[in-house]
Chains A and B, each alone.
Chain A
């Protein structure tokens, strides 16, 4: 049985771990902390801006990759991306992820802009911003991160991506999730809405302000563990309902993170949270083990293959010092860095070149020297650590993470099979 250590439990690390364990590998998933999934919106972006708004992401990938040499989508073609997204949909199930990755939906954000995304939580689909839609945006007075007036006003003045306009009005209501609390987090509401009793009272309160033919936009707090809560609320209100993601803590992101983590454990993955991987040992061109800095000192994790899924600058996987030297934290890998200055002074201007820095791989996700040979024979990389993308600006981070994770897992499994057959032959 092949042994694999996956470092990092974001979308990339989780998906790869599940795929590996389901195929019979013994997997240890080491992560310093909770991954970025929980900071996301409960949606899966494939390609949103190229830089103009993208309507059909899969169709756009090839052209986009050509225009951006060295972009991860240059190795991860549309067929692989489509297959990987189907796989993620299977893992999460229709209760948590739906949509057609060939077509972007355009959904309202918490500030009332209209954001392109490919796969979404089913609780969001009714928010599709199309010509003639009629929304009532309902705020909850005790949630301080959601201003229905701002959302409605911005939506009203937006020329929609597919053409036309929608109409939106706003209402603020007050239904406390915890009686004595004036400032409740979205998570507090989500937990309260797991309770059918509170759900009924909540739905009554919302129903009272909904007009004929209106679709109801609510902050994304409609249940945490009960994935059917939003649908029941819609039924009780008697109108279509959609969730609008909030700044973190993101409840839709939490739902996905919990579901994938539980799925990984069910597949037999050994999950080890809370410690950083700080070092490694190698011999004969291969990584033998990594060191996990646990409370009582370093512990050695040996494996046949290693997957680096530690994210980017935001998760401490990469860092830059004041001389603009770039550094990868675990293996001190050679990095691909953009030409010229890493950062320019125009905050609202073009993407900062810095963020395209990262690890380079071949198309099996094996880490290599920029433009050259593999660094180790058994070290792979996936997700935000890959060089070439400005993920949040392009809205490409999740598509890259899922597709590269699937590709890396399959490469590791293929290498293991080859090793076994060779072993059997010799």
Chain B
């Protein structure tokens, strides 16, 4: 399918078949974190299956733009209505002829990462200057207080090239690592630790040269670019070897490959299906090993009580919260489930000036819980969410793989 077919698909076809399954039970309404905090958004049942009935091309309910695509509604719907996906499609159609430049730019995650890396200290300093952020808000519509990634001076590729080659022999076979843009440029530590944990377990880890999955463009309705990106990424990941399991520690990127590109943009391509069924979230992978009796649990105790927040886009993969199960295996660790649907950021949603306040209100119960449980440290599997929780709570927020790494004595 070529890229602009994606918008066609969204305009006419959709996950639309699922709409007739709606029995109007309102269960989705009770799970939506956005309609809980604002009256600007009518909620999933109304903008989703209800407005969808009247949609011929553009949606009749423009409050749709306030849907953050967090997926909490789809996850809760007992009838299998793809509410969040319907919304994503309807929004892409609604904005197709007047897409704000801002939405186009913040979707270019790799570009931002590449541009910022060599000048990391400068970029970090610049992004912390208030007047500059005010100008960015005026010109670009990115809220002046929105969380911004800290650029790293070393990329993952740089680390991989410089580090001494692992000496231990791989006894368990070969895995492919998918780091996503954030894991390549901003949250490099998470990728390093993931690779080291997998190597410690006895795997050889291949990291092919790779681009971005296109999720940010997809969620901003830019289907052409997103489709091209995700298929290119599939080629890159497949180049490392057929039939190998692909591991990622970037919760939301994994979701893009597993289902979003197919469900929302209608990408129907054997390469995507292949990668999408071979990929595992790293915590999901460790839990599968554990269930099969193949995970060493010689974990050193860590005395730590901290909130764990599973990102909405991880939960929407319908596999529960594997990290919680893995963290239970480490003596001394008490992971307190956040019990909130979403941290508010939902990719790039919470960066936008008209949505910033809403995103902060969505995240507030989570920030409060972090402050209550352990104001120093919390855990979350996706980069943008970590930025949001760090900003909102003041705590250090890391991927749960940090604890696994430490408990195996690797740090």
When A181-B39, A274-B74, A296-B280 are in contact, do A265 and B337 touch as well, CB less than 8 Å? yes
Q: Residue among A33, A265, A268 with the most chain B CB within 10 A?
A: A33
Give the contact stretch, choosing among A34-42, A228-236, A363-371. A34-42
Chain A nearest CB: distance from B387 CB in Å? 24
Number of interface residues of B (CB under 8 A): 37
Question: Which of the residues B30, B280, B320, B339 comes within 8 Å of A187, measured between beta carbons?
Answer: B30
Contacts of B276 in A (CB 8 A): 296-297
List residues of chain A with CB within 8 A of the CB of B277: 296-297
B27 contacts A273, C-beta separation under 8 Å:
no
A316 interface residue (CB < 8 Å to B)? yes
- CB within 8 Å for A178 and B316 given contacts A32-B80, A276-B80: no
Bitwise, B16-54 to A at CB < 8 A (1) or not (0) is: 000000010111011100001001000000000000000
Query: B75 near A: Cβ within 8 Å?
Result: yes
In the complex, residue of chain B having the shortest beta-carbon distance to the beta carbon of A302: B291
A74 within 8 A of B: no
User: If the complex has contacts A32-B80, A296-B258, A296-B276, are A38 and B317 also in contact, measured as CB distance less than 8 A?
Assistant: no
Set of chain B residues within 8 Å of A274, measured between Cβ atoms: 74-76, 315-318
Q: Which residues of B contact A34 (CB under 8 A)?
A: 27, 30-31, 76-78
Asked if B259 is at the interface of the complex by the 8 Å CB criterion, the answer is yes
CA of A354 to CA of B253, assembled, Å: 45
Are A249 and B30 neighbours in the complex by a CB distance under 8 Å?
A: yes
For the complex formed, measure the closest distance between the CB of B219 and the CB atoms of chain A, giving whole angstroms.
16
Q: Using a Cβ cutoff of 8 Å, how many contacts connect chains A and B?
A: 95
* Assembly CA distance A186 to B103 (angstroms): 35
* 145-203 of chain A: CB within 8 A of chain B: 178, 180-181, 185, 187, 191
B291 contact set on A, CB distance < 8 A: 302
State whether A270 touches B320 (Cβ < 8 A): yes
In the complex, chain A residues whose CB is within 8 Å of the CB of B39: 178, 180-181
Most B C-beta atoms less than 10 A away, residue of A191, A272, A273, A315: A273
**B320 touches which one: A38, A180, A272 (CB < 8 A)?**
A272
Contact B79 A272 (CB under 8 A): no
Question: Which residues of chain B from 164 to 201 have any CB-CB distance to chain A below 8 Å in the complex?
Answer: none
Asked if A424 lies at the interface with its beta carbon under 8 angstroms from chain B, I say: no
A44-B78 Cα distance, complex, nearest whole Å: 21
Question: Cα distance A33–B316 when bound, in Å?
Answer: 12
Closest residue of chain A to B278 (Cβ to Cβ) is: A296
Residues of B within 8 A of A262 (CB): 339
When distances are taken between beta carbons in the complex, the residues of chain B under 8 Å from A180 are 39
Of A35, A265, A294, A315, which is within 8 A of B318 by CB? A294
Cβ–Cβ < 8 Å partners of A248 in chain B? 25-27
B362: interface (CB < 8 Å): no
Contact B79 A33 (CB under 8 A): yes
A273-308: contact bitstring with B at CB < 8 Å (1 yes, 0 no)? 111100000000000000011111101001000000
Does A254 belong to the interface (CB within 8 Å)?
A: yes
> Which residues of A are found within 8 Å of B280, using beta-carbon distances?
296
Q: How far is the CA of A179 from the CA of B287 in the complex (A)?
A: 47
Least Cβ–Cβ distance between B302 and chain A, in angstroms: 20
Give the chain A neighbours of B328 by CB distance below 8 A. Answer: 268
Given known A-B contacts A32-B80, A34-B76, A265-B337, A273 and B30 have beta carbons under 8 A apart: no
A254, A295, A299, A302 pick with most chain B CB within 10 angstroms: A295
Q: What's the nearest-Cβ distance from chain A to residue B384, in Å? A: 19
CA distance A254 to B30 in the complex (A): 9
A62 CB-CB contact with B under 8 Å: no
B357: interface (CB < 8 Å): no
CA of A273 to CA of B72, assembled, Å = 10
| In the complex, B255 has a CB within 8 A of chain A | yes
Alpha-carbon separation in the docked complex, A275 to B317 (Å): 8
B271-304 with Cβ < 8 A to chain A = 276-277, 279-280, 291
> B145 in the interface, Cβ–Cβ < 8 Å?
no
Contacts of B31 in A (CB 8 A): 34
Indicate if A103 sits at the interface (CB-CB under 8 A).
no
A271 CB-CB contact with B under 8 Å: yes
Whether B317 pairs with A296 at a CB distance below 8 angstroms is: yes
Q: Which of B75, B255, B316, B325 has the largest count of A CB atoms less than 10 A from its CB? A: B75
Give bound CA distance, A265 to B80, whole Å: 24
- Residue B1 at the chain A interface, CB threshold 8 Å: no
Taking a contact as CB atoms under 8 Å apart, the answer to whether A271 and B25 are in contact is: no
Known: A35-B78, A270-B325. A296 touches B259 (CB 8 A): yes
Name A316's contact: one of B74, B79, B320, B325 (CB within 8 Å): B79
Task: Decide if A273 touches B25 in the complex (CB within 8 Å).
Answer: no
What CA separation (Å) do A249 and B46 show in the bound complex?
A: 14
Contacts of B279 in A (CB 8 A): 296
Q: Does B319 contact A (CB under 8 A)?
A: yes
> Would you call A38 and B27 a contact (CB within 8 A)?
yes
Checking A32, A271, A302 against B78 with a beta-carbon cut-off of 8 angstroms, the contacting residue is: A32
The answer to whether A295 touches B36, judged by C-beta atoms less than 8 angstroms apart, is: no
Task: Output the nearest chain A residue to B273 by Cβ-Cβ distance.
Answer: A297
Question: Assuming A33-B78, A34-B78, A296-B258, is B317 touching A187 (CB within 8 A)?
Answer: no
Segment 304-324 of A: residues with Cβ below 8 Å from B: 314-316
| Residues 230-276 (chain A) with a chain B CB within 8 angstroms | 248-249, 254, 262, 265, 268, 270-276
Residues of A within 8 A of B325 (CB): 270
Report B-chain residues with C-beta under 8 Å of the C-beta of A294: 258, 317-319
Q: 0/1 per residue, B315-334, Cβ < 8 Å to A?
A: 11111100011001000000
- Name 8 interchain pairs, CB-CB below 8 A, sorted by A: A33-B27, A39-B27, A187-B29, A249-B30, A272-B318, A274-B318, A275-B318, A292-B318
Q: Which 6 A-B pairs have the closest CB atoms?
A: A33-B78, A275-B318, A272-B320, A274-B318, A296-B258, A274-B75
Supplied contacts A273-B75, A296-B254, 8 more A-B pairs, CB within 8 Å? A32-B78, A185-B26, A248-B25, A249-B27, A292-B319, A295-B258, A295-B318, A302-B291
